[in-house]
Amino acid sequence: MNRLVEIRSQESLCRERAALDFDRRIFWLAQAEEWEQRALDEIAYHFRECNLGQAELARN
């Protein structure tokens, strides 16, 4: 989950830059959206791994 914290930090940084850099606001917001999607992908991956581990334990 440390990776998720790093990803969310990058997303937050991009949103802060968007607020401060009016000329490149669209760029920074697009970058933030990409980091947000990476965070969602990381969460989904984590839950898949947890569910696979639990299913394997249940079989044994």
pLDDT digits (tens, 9 = 90+) for 11-48: 999 999 999 999 999 999 999 999 999 999 999 999 99
pTM: predicted TM-score of the whole model, two decimal places: 0.79
CA angle 45, 3, 5 (to 5 degrees): 115
Q: What is the pLDDT of residue 2?
A: 92
What does the domain layout of the chain look like in residue ranges?
Answer: 2-59
| 15, amino acid identity | R
Quote the CA–CA distance of 51 and 45 in Å, as a whole number.
10
